[in-house]
């Protein structure tokens, strides 16, 4: 049996820690290093408790261990990834970017995974982008000349860590760019609500599209196929409002419940971007196994 793809995580907040748990379940991946800045952080303690090598030296730890790493998951911040990406390229490492930096090729595994396998830096857009872009793509596959697409995601405030909050502007810009790129819509808008309600709410995403003459039957068929495809790697992805016409707009809504790997199941926003990142990394591992 061919060895697993050796991966490292840089950034040990909510996203990085949840990602670690998911990697340990993968048939194709192993984590050989978790690099952050604080050995006493919950994420570092979690990794240590799982007998994963840890370091507080952040990017320097990746540099020192580069010979033992095939792929790096960057779960830091958009600003940090601008610097980190150059180092990963110099080291010859594949990078999967979980920040909204827009440095690498935008990757939505259900839509363009095969086109991404020759790249050395993949951008996983945002949690809202992973939820909404496949729907926008499905809508565009049936309806031409889309005037406007809007996506509204609501997530539990507790599931949004410091890096997510710092990157809110980048989140909106990157999600909007992704929607336009994958749907060819003339205009797009992204909205993110951090809901402080207790008990915590599940992640929900609504996509609204302004189309002159929408094909509702064809759109429903395309959406159902896309949701089934997404559920192969995001188990908690669920269509809760089928495509409908509301106030002259085509509307569809999904909910994402997490697996509860690190935060409870309300943190579907962690699951959707991390499941997408795992799917991308496993695609690289399978490609290597076939070489």
Separation in Å, CA 228 to CA 59, 129, 233, 235: 38, 17, 10, 10
161 annotated binding-site participant = yes
Neighbours of 267 (CB within 10 A): 29
How many other C-beta atoms are found inside a 10 Å radius of the C-beta of residue 147? 11
Q: How far is CA 162 from the centre of its chain?
A: 17
Alpha helices in the chain (DSSP H): 14-25, 42-49, 58-64, 78-91, 109-116, 127-142, 162-166, 168-183, 216-230, 268-290
Q: Which residues pair with 194 in a beta bridge?
A: 155
CB 211 within 8 A of CB 145: yes
- β-pairing, 94-97 with 105-106? unpaired
160 annotated as ligand-binding: yes
The yes-or-no answer on residue 127 being catalytic is: yes
**Distance of alpha carbon 209 from alpha carbon 53, whole angstroms:** 47
148-156 and 203-210 as β-strands: parallel, antiparallel, unpaired? antiparallel
Residue 15 is labelled as binding a ligand? yes
| 31, 34, 116, 127: the active-site residue | 127
Q: Does residue 166 have a known ligand-binding role?
A: yes
61 marked among binding-site residues: no
Known binding residue 162? Answer is yes
Query: Any residues with CB less than 8 A from the CB of 211 and at least 6 apart, and which?
Result: 139, 143, 145, 146, 147, 250
Residue 167, annotated as binding a ligand: yes
Reference 193, options 202, 185, 183, 184; nearest CA is 202
Please identify every residue annotated as catalytic.
127
**Residue ranges at the known binding site for NAD(+):** 12-15, 159-167, 269
| Numbered residues of the known binding site | 12-15, 159-167, 269
């Amino acid at each position: 049996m061919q060895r697993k793809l050796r991966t490292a995580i840089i950034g040990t907040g909510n996203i990085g820690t949840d990602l670690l748990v998911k990697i340990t379940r993968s048939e194709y991946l192993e984590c050989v290093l978790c690099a952050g800045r604080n050995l006493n952080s919950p994420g570092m303690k979690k990794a240590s408790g799982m007998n994963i090598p840890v370091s507080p030296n952040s990017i320097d730890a990746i540099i020192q261990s580069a010979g033992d790493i095939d792929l790096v998951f960057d779960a830091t911040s958009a600003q940090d990834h601008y610097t980190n990406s150059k180092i990963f390229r110099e080291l010859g490492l594949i990078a999967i970017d979980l920040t909204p930096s827009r440095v690498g090729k935008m990757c939505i595994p259900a839509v363009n995974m095969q086109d991404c396998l020759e790249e050395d830096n993949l951008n996983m857009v945002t949690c809202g982008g992973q939820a909404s872009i496949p729907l926008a793509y499905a809508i565009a596959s049936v309806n031409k000349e889309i005037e406007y697409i809007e996506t509204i995601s609501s997530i539990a405030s507790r599931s949004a860590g410091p890096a997510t909050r710092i990157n809110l502007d980048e989140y909106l810009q990157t999600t909007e760019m992704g929607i336009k790129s994958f749907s060819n819509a003339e205009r797009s808008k992204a909205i993110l609500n951090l809901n402080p309600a207790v008990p915590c709410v599940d992640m929900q995403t609504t996509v609204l599209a302004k189309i002159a003459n929408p094909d509702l039957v064809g759109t429903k068929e395309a959406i159902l196929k896309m949701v089934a495809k997404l559920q192969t790697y995001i188990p908690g992805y669920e269509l809760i409002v089928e495509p409908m016409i509301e106030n002259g707009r085509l509307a569809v809504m999904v909910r994402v419940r997490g697996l509860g790997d690190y935060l409870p199941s309300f943190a579907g926003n962690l699951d959707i971007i991390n499941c997408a990142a795992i799917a991308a990394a496993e695609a690289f591992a399978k490609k290597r196994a076939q070489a």
